[in-house]
Every structure is written in C-alpha cells, then in structure tokens.
Amino acid sequence: MRISGKPSGVGSTQGVSGPKPSASPVSAPVAPTSSSDAVQVSDAARLVAVAQEALVGVPDIRMEKVEAIKSQMDADAYHPDGEAVADGLIKEHLAHGRHS
C-alpha cells in the first residue's frame, strides 16, 4: 500500500507569537475567620486513642515466653508441631487479608 500526499495540518508549523497581555491580578478581600473552630472526634477514634494509651505499657516482646522457649531449646526439649505452626501462619495470613 502506498500513501501519497499529506493530510492537511501534517508537517505545517505555526509561528511563535509574543507574550499575550495578562490580566492584572485582582486580590479579593479575605474574610476574617472565626476563632471558635471546633473539632469533633468519632467514638471509633476515641476507642483507638484509649487502646493506644493502654498499649503504651505493654512490651512488644513477651520476654517470659522467650525465656521459656530458650530454656526448652537449651535442654533440647523444644519440639514445636510443624503442622500447627503452618496452620497458624496460614490462618493469620488469611485473617489479615494479605493476599500477595
């Protein structure tokens, strides 16, 4: 198939013109704001704040459990059930909706 000729507008250029006069900026008067702004927090947000405050004193790692498992490992008495561990990991994964 052979294409001959150019459609109108293809290959043509338009010259650059000088800057257009811009409208002068108009500043609108700003209305004074009220000094009695208020914020309302939902019940859910309040519950989250209470939960966060309660967790401040709770450690991320339960050292008593860590020490108990370390003692069992040192005594070669720690034998976790692999299937139970795998089931727990899968249930936790599904419960948190992490589908990647």
d(C-alpha 43, C-alpha 40), whole Å = 10
- Give tens-digit pLDDT for 26-74: 666 666 666 777 778 788 899 999 999 988 888 889 999 999 999 999 9
Length reported for the chain:
100
pTM above 0.75, yes or no: no
Q: Is the pLDDT of residue 6 over 80?
A: no
d(C-alpha 74, C-alpha 69), whole Å = 9
d(C-alpha 93, C-alpha 100), whole Å = 10
Task: Dump strand ranges (E) for 1-100.
Answer: none
Give me the residue spans of the domains in the chain.
49-95
d(C-alpha 69, C-alpha 77), whole Å = 9
Q: Is the pLDDT of residue 80 over 70?
A: yes
